[in-house]
Chains A and B, each alone.
Chain A
Amino acid sequence: MSVPGEVLAQAEAASPLPQPWIQRAALPAAPANAKAEVLEALEHVRAAFPDLPVLAWPDGAGGAHVVIDGVPLSSRWRQASTFIAFHLNHMCPDADTYPHYVRSDLAYSDGRALQVPITAGAQFEEAPVLQVSRRTATHDPVTTTPANKTRAVLAWLRDVA
């Protein structure tokens, strides 16, 4: 699960990710430190976001913490881009991918306050983040993959939130 150096450099250039994340993602990873289903889901995420840096590190229980950096946002938001982070646990793909986390300073262009399901004051791997709590109504392990769920959450952020 170790990340190529050029990806890390790309991540650092895109937006200032918290240093603990970059350090953890750079750690050499043993081949058996995540379940096969988690590694497969991670590959789908990388394939779904081929032009963006995807960082990942094991959670110690067979799952992984994942961060996709530099995701473009719409004009609804003051910022042009954000990272999106989530946890793939060892019960993937039967577990939903929930919740997601984005940059803690994300703000609407028109200045209105953030509302549920976006909540402030959350933490992801020792860094402050906003939590985006979009539950899946009918989870199907074949179609509601972590990659598809993350795309759906991003589409909601861009167009609906």
Chain B
Amino acid sequence: MNTVPPPTAGAPGALHALRRIARRLSPHQTAAPALSPGRDPDWDLRAPHHLWQAMHEHLDPGDGDEHAGALLCGIAKDASGNRLLARTFLPAEDGVDYVPGTTGYRALTPAFIRRATRLAAQEKLAYLAVHNHGGQHHVSFSSTDMASHERGYPALLDLLGGQLVGAVVVAGGPEGAVAGDLWLPGGDRVALRRTVVIGANTRVLRDRPTPPPATARAAQHRTSRLLGDAGVQRLAEATIGVVGAGGGGILAVEYLARLEVGHIIAIDPERVELTNLPRLPGARRSDAAAWLTAKDRPAALQRLGQRLSTRKVDLARRLVRRASSHTRFTGLADDVTAPGAAHLLTTCDFIVLAADTDSARHLVNAVVQQYLIPAVQVGVKAQPGEGDALSDLFAVSRPFAPAQGCLWCQGLIDPNKLAVELQPHDRRRAADYGTTDAAPAVVTLNALAVGAATTHLMLSLAGRHHATTAPGFRLHPLQPQARLTDPRRDPQCRHCGDGDSRLGRGDQRSLPVRFEGA
């Protein structure tokens, strides 16, 4: 994030040039953007699709009756808001755990509540009692419900010693209405703002229908023909993280800006060079400081040129400004494993992973599972054949969502490469002997992968996918052939599995970031 403001219209040319040089030389910042003063953070609930579906199958088996259970949730808090992250659903068995009540229709038994809250306390999770009402698009707690909350939740707060407790009521099935009554440690009581369910689509549920969206502007008319005015509005409210602003990431930034998403956060530590110009649309030779960095220049001039060349995140900023006056941009010229960068990613609605290091994959995978954020990974791979021929070439777009098969489950993170990449710089090349050849990279292949990825993102946020899980897409131009690849999930996975995994842990667990100041 630059500290030097952009040049104003009409500034003298020399002043403009000085400001540009100062910006290129200024150290990067990794501070998260500050919340506008005076705004109270809201509380949202986020849930993986499979858990939400399983909860509704228990609550609404088709008998029209009332059923119940409990959700145990991790918590994420930052200046932009607070999130409950659903990681476990405990069904309450009718007649055993959920029985006729003394003041209301039915009630959870003390034994069930004790079992659930004990588990919540052990795991340091929030406890939410859940039940269903009739109806479709509106839901609220009855006066009997509220009275039972007021009788019981102050004591539960004490029992859980600092963990949030509350209740959620649903109606109308997995895509219906959701309301929540949250009791915070410290005595505040707030209503749940919205529920976000993450599957192939990212669905937003509230306790009542949202007002009709504003009609899309004329410039977005053709987009709204595909996504609807509501879909265009969802994009305009979304924050998208783009990890890597190289050949793939810069295209993602361009496409997302043209879609007029609300906010793009781009993270990349590198600068434009002559060798990557062919893959950076919008980059100029002056961005690579070509007059200094060309091969025939003395080494000292080349080093100076490297310091003056444009940071990739600043190139991304320029593209966004050119494409859209409605999209905010935050650029971090740092590795995604820096604490500030990783923290920013936890505030995103969707992440595009366009960096090709295993450490970036590991970090983003952890954010996705821990904070319940959907993502899509893009890549291009060439398999060498005989001589200088290629045996295979493919461009891939791989969606991955919480609890739907993470990058570790799919064998896409190499523990050995994690060891090599994080070696001190002077040892890295020796540690990676035999594997340091640069992979082939071409802008047209990047466009295939990124086009598929951003199309998936757009359809997901607008709720337009037909399937409940989104397969990966692999295009093999040499054959030619297109394949769909379904993600597989290991239930024992340390990162997205059912046991003691990262899934939905939020702020409770540390992310695999390097220490501040490193």
Contact = CB atoms under 8 A, between A and B. Distances in A.
Interface stretch (B189-197, B253-261, B412-420): B412-420
Contact of A98 (B420, B424, B494, B513): B420
A131 B515 contact: no
Interface string A122-161: 1110000001010110010100000000000000000000
Nearest to B338: A61
A62 B419 contact: no
B421 to A, nearest CB: 9
Nearest to A133: B433
Nearest to B426: A123
Contacts of B517: 60
A131 B416 contact: no
A69 interface: no
B408 to A, nearest CB: 8
A95 interface: yes
Interface string B354-390: 0000010010000000000000000000000000000
B416 A96 contact: yes
A99 B413 CA distance: 18
A82 interface: no
Contacts of B337: 90
B433 A119 contact: yes
A3 B416 CA distance: 29
B431 A98 contact: yes
B31 interface: no
Contacts of B9: none
A135 B416 contact: yes
A35 interface: yes
B21 interface: no
A121 to B, nearest CB: 8
A131 to B, nearest CB: 6
A63 interface: yes
Contacts of A35: 510, 515
B427 interface: yes
Interface string B413-457: 101101110111011001101000000000000000000000000
Contact of A90 (B420, B494, B513): B513
Contacts of B512: 90-91, 94
B518 interface: yes
Given A90-B512, A124-B427, A96 B422 contact: no
Interface string B124-167: 00000000000000000000000000000000000000000000
A95 B427 contact: no
A33 B514 CA distance: 11
Contacts of A123: 426-427, 430
Contacts of B518: 60-62
B415 A136 contact: yes
Contacts of B419: 87, 89, 95-99
Given A91-B512, A141-B494, A96 B427 contact: no
B427 A122 contact: yes
A33 to B, nearest CB: 7
A95 B431 contact: no
A59 interface: yes
A29 B424 CA distance: 20
A16 to B, nearest CB: 22
Nearest to A140: B415
A53 B405 CA distance: 43
B418 A89 contact: yes
Interface string B309-321: 0000000000000
A139 B416 contact: yes
A62 B515 contact: yes
Interface in B489-518: 494, 510, 512-515, 517-518
A56 to B, nearest CB: 15
Contacts of B359: 91
B515 A91 contact: no
Contact of A95 (B415, B510, B515): B415
B510 A99 contact: no
A161 to B, nearest CB: 17
Nearest to B512: A91
Interface in A55-82: 59-63
Nearest to A138: B415
Contacts of B494: 94, 141
Interface string B325-358: 0000000000001000000000000000000000
Interface string B391-420: 000000000000000000000010110111
A102 B313 CA distance: 42
A75 B174 CA distance: 69
A36 B511 CA distance: 12
Interface string A84-117: 0001011100111111000000000000000010
B428 to A, nearest CB: 11
B431 A91 contact: no
A96 B413 CA distance: 11
A95 B418 contact: yes
A82 to B, nearest CB: 19
Contacts of A60: 515, 517-518
Contacts of B427: 87, 122-124
Given A131-B430, A141-B494, A61 B415 contact: no
Nearest to A63: B422
A33 B515 CA distance: 8
Given A61-B422, A95-B415, A116-B433, 5 more contacts: A61-B514, A61-B518, A89-B418, A90-B514, A91-B359
Interface of A: 33, 35-36, 59-63, 87, 89-91, 94-99, 116, 119, 121-124, 131, 133, 135-136, 139, 141
28 contacts: A60-B517, A60-B518, A61-B422, A61-B518, A62-B518, A87-B423, A87-B427, A89-B419, A89-B423, A90-B514, A90-B515, A91-B418, A91-B422, A91-B512, A94-B413, A94-B418, A95-B415, A95-B419, A96-B416, A96-B419, A97-B419, A99-B431, A121-B430, A123-B426, A123-B427, A124-B427, A136-B415, A139-B416
Pairs of residues from A and B, 4 with the lowest C-beta to C-beta distance, nearest first:
A95-B418, A139-B415, A89-B422, A61-B518
